[in-house]
Amino acid sequence: MNTGFLPITKQEMLDRGWDQVDFVYVCGDAYVDHPSFGASIITRVLEANGYKIGFIAQPDWKDPKSIDVFGKPRLGFLVSSGNMDSLVNHYTVAKKHRSTDAFTPGGVMGKRPDRAVIVYCNLIRQTYKKDAIIIGGLEASLRRMGHYDYWSDSVRRSILLESGADIISYGMGEHSIVEIADALNSGLDVKDVTFIKGTVYKTRDEDSIYDAIRLPDFETIENDKREYARSFALQYKNTDPFQAKTMYECYGGKTFVVQNPPALPLSELEMDDVYKLPYMRAYHPSYEAAGGVPALQEIKFSLTSNRGCYGECNFCALTMHEGRIVQARSHESIITEAKEMIEDPDFKGYIHDVGGPTAEFRAPACSKQMTKGACVGKRCLYPKPCINLNVDHSDYLSLLRKLRKLQGVKKVFVRSGFRYDYLVADKNKDFLKELCQYHVSGQLRVAPEHISDNVLSKMGKPGVEIYNEFVKEFEKVNEELHLNQFIVPYLMSSHPGSRLEDAIMLAQYLKKHHISPEQVQDFYPTPGTVSTTMYYTGLDPFTLEPVFVEHNPHKKAMQRALIQYWKPENYDIVKEALKEAGREDLIGFGEECLIPPRKMTYTYKLSKGKDKNKNNKDKYKSKDKSKNRSKDKAKPAKINKKINNKESNRHKKTR
């Protein structure tokens, strides 16, 4: 039974009969008590272990008193930027300010600072000089060692040093946060809490670091890109909880930041226990007047089925944060949550999603992973599926069947991304058929990202022939079912390895297959990914071989525009790109041409002569502004598939 929201004021603390809280949780997000929010899981897990938690959401970082709501906590402060990295939350890949923040009441931007973890910790230290500070969440987890920072275009120190915190709880945190709390509760000084898996600590005594790998010193990776790449490769190869070694990094010859091996993955029973905690599954009532918290609407009627991903795309931080070993909840746990969801007055009969980082992953890639770990230096799906990979959709299919039979459920959608190569590898096509028949809302999201092998190899993605095979299977199934459904491919421009000719190749592919993406994701270099290391160093961190990286903003704009070659506003830059690449053969009226030789302007007319209905394709005129030839007509490119691929969706389901 729900016991109510955690206290957010001192009076609410006193009303519970508490004189003092054990921990104060300071968060960059608004307070949403739902298991899709990392802060909610961590605080409820601590509460279930007997600890008293006070919650401070989005404090005024310019006012030290905003951190003093509950006074001095008995054991310490917990700090997180929230579900998203604060800089990704604030800025586009072009480093322009975003206008809204889905994790703030009313979607208002500006309620959290840039580099929120650092700012909050410094704010705490102004009043509480020696109290324990434990930082966690995505922002802290992926900055746990020296790292390239895209926004300042520099290599920055571990966030443990920049923030002045005592410990980082990295990864998902359920195991490590309870062990930290128990250690502090036993009377240990925070400086002596150095033995917990899934944590990072600092020390001045190198001799106390046992059986560990010494990474290149910070001053070395700050000035030598080759050494930076080598350091990242060592860290990446030590992300498996069963095989990873302790690693440490030296700063100034006297301070050492030490990363313990990752915490063990949760068992099914532990996952079930986490998700049955008494979440309110709502934002705090104090936000009602502001219109609530928009991010909740995206996930309120969605079900988390799993975590972790062995897909291991190079541009994704999941390997460094959640890990490669997939962990899943039981059917009973998920169905129990679904039944609670059905009782919600706002539930309209539609479960919006059942999934996680990858929707259909419901078990480790192979039987040995839960005892021996994931293979070091070998991937489960790239360049082709491992012979030991367990390709089986039966458990996920069984779960979906049970959910759609629940009374009160009209439709169960699956909107998490799918691994199309995993679907193709499954010889049993029953799952794909039922997916199309019952669980696709007209569009299925998959992520080919590109079609050029030059780029795909740097992404860690399979060749385009696998994607093409999947498209054929999808279309065949929908034809058999008499359904008119489409694939929504996620596409990315300017990823390391992508040259202008690769972008042109992608544009030609889109033209041939009548795909017209409305939005495109530029590669966004964020901490903790292989691709970001390539972007910064120009090297493959595993082979140290050179990788082409396009840094010129105008040439990056060319690559992006080519993916949307059909947009009138992109005509000039697409034409410039084609000329620069020596591909004038793609300028003309031929079937394979991307753009005509001269710029066309189309005006669409209603019967009353108003230029409003742009979907009325029977009434249009084309005008050539460069020459007085108003009678020349050219029909605009047919758009068979409109793709909505918002950038914010690329950062969901991590915390």
For residue 584, CA distances in Å to 237, 314, 435, 509, 510 come to 45, 34, 43, 17, 18
Distance CA 153, CA 96 (A): 15
**27 annotated ligand binder:** no
- Supply 634's token pair: 């050219």
Distance CA 350, CA 297 (A): 13
Q: In this structure, are residues 259 and 247 in contact, taking their beta carbons and an 8 Å threshold?
A: yes
Q: In this structure, are residues 338 and 409 in contact, taking their beta carbons and an 8 Å threshold?
A: yes
Q: In this structure, are residues 640 and 487 in contact, taking their beta carbons and an 8 Å threshold?
A: no
DSSP 3-state of 24: strand
**309 annotated ligand binder:** yes
Rounded (5°) CA angle 160-161-166? 50
Instruction: Give the count of alpha carbons within 13 A of 451, CB side only.
Output: 17
584-623 b/e with 16+ CB inside 10 Å = b?
eebbeeeeebbbbeeebeeebeeeeeeeeeeeeeeeeebb
Q: Distance from first CA to last CA of the chain, Å, rounded?
A: 26
**316 annotated ligand binder:** yes
Distance CA 511, CA 591 (A): 9
- β-partners of residue 259 are 200, 247
Instruction: Give the count of alpha carbons within 13 A of 584, CB side only.
Output: 4
Q: In this structure, are residues 260 and 196 in contact, taking their beta carbons and an 8 Å threshold?
A: yes
- Supply 208's token pair: 């106390």
- Supply 235's token pair: 């860290």
Q: In this structure, are residues 514 and 638 in contact, taking their beta carbons and an 8 Å threshold?
A: yes
One-letter identity of residue 159? I
Look at phi and psi of residue 455 and say left if phi exceeds 0, alpha if psi is from -120 to 50, else beta.
Answer: alpha
Binding residues are 309, 313, 316
Binding residues for [4Fe-4S] cluster are 309, 313, 316
